[in-house]
A and B are shown apart, each in its own frame.
Chain A
Amino acid sequence: MEEKKKKQRIGVYICHCGGNISDYVDVEQLRDIVGQEENVAVSKNVMFACADSNQKEMIKDIQEKQLDGIVVASCSPKLHLHTFRGVAERAGLNPYNYVQVNVREQCSWAHSDHPDQASYKAAGLIRAGIRRVSSSEALTNIEVKATKSVVVIGAGVAGMRAAIDLARMGNQVVLVEKEPVAGGQMAGKGPVFPTNQKGQELVDTLLGEIRKLSKITLFTSATVDKVTGSIGNFKVDVRVNGTPGEVMSFPAGAILVTTGYESYAPKEGEYGFTEGSRVITMKEFDKLVDSSNGSLSYQGKAVKTIAYIYCVGMRQTKGENKYCSRSCCTAAIHSSITVHEKFKGIKAFHLYRDIRTYGKNEILYEKSSKLGDTYLMYQEKEPPQVVQGKNIVNVKIKDSLTRKRELELDADLVVLVTGMVPRKDSQDIANKLKIPIGSDKFFNEIHPKLRPVETVINGVFLGGSCQGPKNITESVQSAMAASAKINAIIRKDTLELEPIVARIDAEACTWCGKCQEVCEYDAIFQIETNGKVVASVNDPVCKGCGICAPICPADAIDIAQYTNDEIEGMIDGFSQQVDLNVEKGKSGQEGDAGGMKDFPQIWKSIMEDLLEEPKTIPQIAASLQQPSELVTWHLMTMNKYYIVESAGIDDNDEYFLYKLKNQAK
């Protein structure tokens, strides 16, 4: 372990954040108090710490005043930890001798209702930061050699596309498919929009390319058995030739998960769905259409009238699948058009909740309408009633576009437009790869917009609809994005990993094996040093979770950046006595609405007006004798700041009612 020398020349920068912090926290006084600490060489206020000009000034300070640690008290580290680590690095200071203190999200904003006490808390937080940085160690990133190979799990359209791209970029690819043939859900599809190629044709095109690429090995009837290792050097055990089969191990620099989805399976009796009935799923219907020629018939009877029921199993306010499956509206309408083009004299009724043919797909909706398809809208609360008769299905719907008039139709066939649900085996994959599952039960990316194909597990990526409903185009796009991302990482010979790992104090360790037992990543092993058996850590494999640390009876384990000195120093820092001279209620008042400092007079009037009962915007405007646009504008701002909230709709179904938030009933 490193030198235990405490830092002596620390630089502290306390940010105003343009008022976000300084409106509530007395940053000037804190600067002066902190500046008196023995080991603080520089203590400054800055308007915006993240501003380029300040970063340059920090670099100058670090170099000229030979600072050995820096603390920036500003926003959450999630925003600017890396910004200031970069500043330290550019100034020649080790980036791990930098500590960010969160005095915005966890202080000025959280306690804007108690600005006098927020300053006390900020003092504690900053002093904790100073103690933490004073015990911080200079750390070096871990370098690992990267294997230029990728294991892609799932050979649907996303997996096949990604495999081709990765191989063309020079990587070895092992493509693992659970089913006996590649192609996934796409293989079973009839002609798809907009090219009208059949799913199988697309699969054949991709398979043709895969055959030409010697860098791809495709295993069908194969499953992932076990995954060990970490980014750059995973080892993936694949069970080939079914169960029990045979297990083969492959090295991988990264893993791409493209396991896809399952179609929602209607429950027995859902919209009359049952074995042998004339109610079938979209998937079965597509197969029927694709295999019929000349005329369309089902169970020996000609099909002339078809009723499509949308959103089956999807967008359930109370059920498990709350999301919209995105692709099913388009798929159903496309199938309906295909039916018209293939067979004559068919009537189609679309019983929908909302039509979501976004983007170019809208063309299909227009086309289907022009072909004479009838669209009837129903509400989730009053779903269509389906009764199976002899060779006919009776469907009743309360059409919400004609004031819920009850309409009735006899259909030869009812098609349940079902969406995508997560695969039943996704939990198994999640367990093996340690990737998180979201509340919708699909796999979770780190950030839906900023890091859409990465998972919290370094080196494990997502592509296609295992992440949530996607159409073929979107699946391919995400798979290609993941391939590019993977290639950018493993094409370099060495990878740099954060050195936040467990370290063993060999002197204190007496090898009891408890740390090894709890480590799920097999990062801990036994070594012999100076004739003594002790634990040791395989740095690139260690995730730095720290689970092994409290288990150790000898307290011989700590995690870099989270050592006893650092954490206990923070606790001491929080508790240090602070003498602040704060006027109570200097800014803001206890219990003021939402902690807003200087809200306009009209807010006060609106709040007074809402004291007695919830009101609509026109009502407030009338009582304040103000234009309703002005009231709307201010009310929306108050809504945004959680001062007011919606209280339902008025009796005429015309306007939203608003009430004060936290108002007693």
Chain B
Amino acid sequence: METKKSPRILVFSTDKISDPGIDQAGLRKIHYSPTVYTISLPCSSGIKPRWVMRAFEQGFDGVFIAADGHECSYSSRCPEFTNKIIEECQKQMTAKGISPKRIRMAAICSVCAEPFASHMANFTKILAELS
């Protein structure tokens, strides 16, 4: 009974930093689209492109990587690794006719409730325009 089709977004967050930031958005009742689903991982550099492709196969409209950026406690090269993963995803997406704009990344800190909500609003808008 979903009335208007809001774009479905899969978020990959990180256990120690960005997922607590997303939790905080809820805690403070800072709203974002209810068609946003989150999977938390230890580090954004561990996302396999096949998972991203699975999301598109399953009808997700976009994938958002809530990365730790330079705050990552595992590796100072985290942004570089995560970027490479995104490039690989975009290559596979383009091959399947999926717009590379459907994957995005931003650093989300452990108290970044508002930035997360505004990233979601922005991405929702971009995805709505794409379809």
Contacts and interface: CB of A to CB of B under 8 A. Distances in A.
A105 B37 contact: no
Interface in A60-83: 76-78
Interface in A165-205: none
B47 interface: yes
B2 A78 contact: no
Given A520-B75, A546-B42, A547-B81, A105 B23 contact: yes
Contacts of B59: 575
A595 B31 contact: yes
A117 B34 contact: yes
Given A106-B23, A117-B35, A118-B34, A568 B75 contact: no
A121 B42 CA distance: 23
B29 A571 contact: no
Given A105-B23, A110-B31, A112-B31, A431 B76 contact: yes
Nearest to A566: B39
A520 B43 CA distance: 14
A512 to B, nearest CB: 16
B115 interface: no
Count chain B CB atoms within 10 A of each CB in A457, A555, A568 and give the residue with the most: A568
Interface in A314-334: none
Interface stretch (B49-57, B96-104, B121-129): B49-57
A575 B32 contact: no
A549 B74 CA distance: 14
B59 to A, nearest CB: 6
A160 interface: no
B131 interface: no
Nearest to A569: B54
Given A104-B26, A107-B26, A555 B48 contact: yes
A484 interface: no
A595 B34 contact: no
B13 to A, nearest CB: 9
Nearest to B59: A575
B71 to A, nearest CB: 6
A550 B73 contact: no
Contact of B45 (A546, A570, A581): A546
Interface in B87-116: 88
Given A120-B2, A431-B76, A518-B81, A562 B26 contact: no
A546 B34 contact: no
A456 B16 contact: yes
A125 interface: yes
Interface in B1-18: 1-3, 8, 10, 16
A594 B29 CA distance: 7
B83 to A, nearest CB: 12
Contacts of B16: 456
Nearest to A434: B73
B17 to A, nearest CB: 9
A374 B81 CA distance: 59
B26 A109 contact: yes
A286 interface: no
Contacts of A525: none
A505 interface: no
Contacts of A582: 1
B58 A574 contact: yes
A559 interface: yes
A113 interface: yes
B67 interface: no
A547 B37 contact: no
Nearest to B120: A110
Contact of B23 (A76, A114, A520, A581): A76
B22 to A, nearest CB: 6
B46 A106 contact: no
B45 A550 contact: yes
A574 B60 CA distance: 9
A124 B38 CA distance: 11
A127 to B, nearest CB: 11
A520 B74 contact: yes
B62 to A, nearest CB: 13
B38 A78 contact: no
A544 interface: yes
A567 interface: yes
Contacts of A594: 29
Interface string A102-143: 101111111111101110110011001000000000000000
20 contacts: A102-B38, A110-B25, A110-B34, A111-B31, A111-B34, A117-B2, A120-B2, A436-B73, A518-B77, A545-B46, A546-B45, A550-B45, A550-B47, A568-B50, A568-B51, A571-B10, A571-B39, A575-B58, A580-B1, A642-B29
- Top 8 closest A-B pairs, CB basis? A546-B46, A105-B26, A110-B26, A545-B74, A109-B26, A117-B34, A575-B58, A105-B23
